[in-house]
Amino acid sequence: MKQAGLSGDGLLVFVKAACETCVMVQPVLRDLARQMPDMTVISQDDPDFPAALDSVDDRSLELSFRHDIEVVPTVIRFRDGQEVARTYGWHRADWEEVSGRQGLAPDLPDQRPGCGSRSRDPGAWEILMERYGDSNIAARPVPLGDWDDDAEACYDRGWTDGLPVVPPTDSRIVRMLGGTSRKPDEVLGEVPPNLTPITVEKVAINAVMAGARPEYMPVILAALDAALQPEATMHGVLCTTCFSSPILVVNGPVARKIGMNSGINCLGQGNRANATIGRALQLIIRNVGGGRPGELDRAVLGGPGKFTFCFAENEQDPSWTPLNVARGFAPDTDTVTLFQGDGIQGFVDQRSRTPEQLTQSLARSLMAVGNWKLCEFTNAMLVLVPEHYAIYRNAGWDRDRITTALHDALRRPGSDVVQGAHGIGEGVSPDRQNDMVNKFWPEGLLIVHAGGQAGLFSAICAGWTGGRFRHESKTVTREIKPWL
Amino acid sequence: MAVTLRDPTGEATSLLRDRTAPLTAFDGKILALMDIGKMRGDEFIDRLEQLCTERGVATRRFKKPTNTRVAPPEMIDEIAGSCDAVIVALSD
C-alpha cells in the first residue's frame, strides 16, 4: 500500500470498495496499472481495495476533498502538474480518452454510473473543509487548548445567554451560511446598543450558537432586519429597566416549511425553530451589539422572553385575517413581525359564550397592561386561541370587528384613570380628567391567532413602556427575503 | 484535536485611553447635566441645577431626544468639547 506522494503527472483514480461500479472496474484498473506506471489509485474506504493493486489510503478523505471528488470512480489526467481531463463513473469511451489507452475491458458494459464520493456524504464536506480547506471565514479565529471544553470556552468568553451554546466551528458556520444566498461579507446594518456593523457571517455564527438550522437563516435575517429598523427602537428595548424584549411572530408558508409551531404550546418550549430563531436574535444583540445584562441592559427584573420569544401565527382558519395581511402584506407573504413586549399574562374565560361577553371580559384583562390606570402608554399583543376565536367567528366577527370592539370597551372616563383617582398615585395626566381616554393607541393592540385547539386560555403580552412614544417606537413587520 | 472557534462578537475593540481624572473642585468648571429622556429625569436634573446654581457652579443642560435611541453623536461631542464633567440622569 502506498502511504503518500502523488505524481503531478499521470492518472489519478478515486475509488471505494462499497461502490459496485468500482468493484466492476477492478480488472480495468489492474490492466491500466500494468500499462501505466504513473497511475495512482486512491481508495476512500479500504486500503486493500482494489485487490492486487497498491492503492493510496484516503480514509481521511483529504485527497478526495482536495481534488473535489463528487463521484467514484473518478479518473483525472494530469499533465505538468495540471489537471487536463476528468471523467467519472464507468464510460468506456471517456476512460479511453482520458487514459489514452484503447480497447479497455471489452467484456464490460459500455457505461455504468458511479456512486457518491464519501467526501460528499451528508455533512462531510464542511468538516473536510474545516480540516483541509480554506473556509474564507473572516471572523477572528479563537483556538482552544487541547483540553479545553468547547461549551465551557464559549461561556467563559461571555458569548452565551447563560445556557450552553453550540460551539461555532468553521464547518457549522459554513453549513449555516448555506441557508442563505446572501454573501457572507454583506453588511446588514449596525446593531444596537453599540451600533456595531454586522455581516451575514456574524449572523450565521450566532445562529450556530443558538442551535438553529441553516433553513432558518432567512427568517433570522428578516428578524434582524426588523430589529435594525429605527422604529423598532432596539436600543431602548435592550437598555430599558423594563421587562421587554423582541417578540417575533412569523407568518407565511415559510413557517410551515421550517416546522414552526403555531399550535399547542407554541409560546412554550419544544420546537427548535421557534426556540432558536428568537435566541439567535438575542445572541446577536448580546454578542455583536454588546447588550449584556447588568451592563447596558438595565432590566430591573428582565423576563424569560429575553432568552427567546418567537412563534408562528396559525393561518389554517380561512376566516381569520393573518397578521401579515393585516399589516399590509399580500396573503402568503413570508414575514417576521417584531413586537416589543413582556412575558405572558394569562387570560382565563371559560364562561363567556357571546362575542359581547368575551370582548368585555378581554377588555377588563387588557386594562391591566402596564398599570390599570395607564393609558396610551404601552401597546399590547393579544394571542387569541382557537376556542376563544371560535366564539367570535361563529357570530361572524372578523379581526377588524374584534379589534374595534376591544378598543371601544377599553375607553374610560378620564376621571377614572387620572393620577390620584381611586387613591392610586399612578395614572394619566390630570388634564385628561374630562376626556374619554383610550387604553391603547389605535394601532397599539396587536391580535395574533395561535395556540392549541382545546382550552379557553388566551394570552396577553404587555408592550414595552417605550410604546408611549407613539411615533418613535412601533411594531415592525419585514418581509422574509427568499433564496435568490 | 484542539478546536478552533470563530468570534461571534462585533470585534470592535475600544481605544484604550487613560481615565479622565475626577474634578477636585468646580471652580471655573462647567458641569453638563444630561437628561436621557427617562421619566422624571427632568425633576432630578432640575434639582441638581438648582443646587449647582446655589453654589455658583456653572452648568449646561442637555437632553437626549428620546430614551428609545442612542444619543446623537453631535450632542456627545458637544458635551465632551464644552464641559469638564457630566452627570447623567440614567434611570427613572
- 3-class secondary structure for A316-342? CCCCCCCHHHHCCCCCCCCEEEEEEEE
pLDDT classification of B70: cutoffs 50, 70, 90: confident
pLDDT at A475: 97
pLDDT at B40: 85
| pLDDT reading at A4 higher than 70 | no
What is the Cα–Cα distance from A11 to A155, expressed in whole angstroms? 50
Is A213 within 8 Å of A272 (Cβ atoms)?
yes
Q: What is the number of other CB atoms lying within 10 angstroms of the CB of residue B66?
A: 17
- Are the beta carbons of B3 and A288 separated by less than 8 Å? no
Mean pLDDT of A157-161: 96
Residue keyed to cell 470592535: B12
Q: What is the number of other CB atoms lying within 10 angstroms of the CB of residue A405?
A: 19
- Which DSSP string do the residues of A100-135 spell out, in sequence order? ---S--TTS-SEE--EE-GGGSTTHHHHHHHHHS--
Mean pLDDT of A294-310: 93
What is the Cα–Cα distance from A80 to A451, expressed in whole angstroms? 67
Please tell me the total number of residues recorded for chain B in this structure. 92
Gap from A174 CA to chain B (nearest CA, Å):
11
Give chain B's radius of gyration (CA, Å). Answer: 18
pLDDT at B39: 81
| pLDDT reading at A167 higher than 70 | yes
pLDDT at A483: 73
Is A169 within 8 Å of B6 (Cβ atoms)?
yes
- Reported for A182-185, long-range contacts at CB under 8 A and 24+ positions apart, including other chains, are A182/A221, A182/A481, A182/A484, A184/A136, A184/A137, A184/A138, A185/A138
Over the stretch A168-179, which tens digit does the pLDDT of each residue have? 999 999 999 999
Burial label, A19 (beta-carbon count in 10 A; 0-12, 13-18, 19+):
buried
Over the stretch A411-457, which tens digit does the pLDDT of each residue have? 999 999 999 999 999 999 999 999 999 999 999 999 999 999 999 99
pLDDT classification of A1: cutoffs 50, 70, 90: very low
Task: State whether residue A442 sits within 8 Å of chain B by CB.
Answer: no
Over the stretch B7-58, which tens digit does the pLDDT of each residue have? 999 998 666 677 778 889 988 999 999 998 888 888 999 999 999 999 999 9
Q: Which residues of A295-304 are buried (b: 16+ CB within 10 A; e: fewer)?
A: ebbebeebbe
pLDDT classification of A289: cutoffs 50, 70, 90: very high
What is the Cα–Cα distance from A44 to A119, expressed in whole angstroms? 8
Strands B58-63 and B30-35: parallel
| pLDDT reading at A152 higher than 90 | yes
Over the stretch A53-92, which tens digit does the pLDDT of each residue have? 999 999 999 999 999 999 999 999 999 889 999 999 999 9
Residue of B3, B9, B10 lying closest to A167 (CB–CB)? B3
What is the Cα–Cα distance from A420 to A426, expressed in whole angstroms? 7
Which amino acid is present at A118?
R
| pLDDT reading at A97 higher than 70 | yes
What is the Cα–Cα distance from A236 to A468, expressed in whole angstroms? 13
Tell me which residues of chain B have a C-beta less than 8 Å from any C-beta of chain A: 2-12, 66-70, 90-92
- Are the beta carbons of B6 and A289 separated by less than 8 Å? no
Task: State whether residue A84 sits within 8 Å of chain B by CB.
Answer: no
pLDDT at B68: 81
What is the Cα–Cα distance from A339 to A460, expressed in whole angstroms? 12
Residue of B12, B66, B91 lying closest to A194 (CB–CB)? B12
Q: What are phi and psi of A362, to 5 degrees?
A: -60, -40
For chain A, positions 139-168, list CB contacts with chain B under 8 A. 139-146, 148, 150, 153-154, 159, 167-168
> Is the bond leading into A193 cis (omega within 30 degrees of zero)?
yes
Mutation site for A-interface testing, chosen from B5, B7, B91 by largest number of A Cβ within 10 Å: B5
pLDDT at A6: 52
Q: C-alpha grid cell for residue A472?
A: 418613535
pTM as predicted: 0.88
- Are the beta carbons of A283 and B8 separated by less than 8 Å? yes
Query: How high does pLDDT run on average in chain A?
Result: 95
Is residue A362 within a helix (H) or strand (E), and if so which, with residue range? helix A355-366
- Are the beta carbons of A241 and B91 separated by less than 8 Å? yes
Q: Of B15, B65, B11, which Cα lies nearest the Cα of A289?
A: B11
Q: What are phi and psi of A103, to 5 degrees?
A: 70, 35
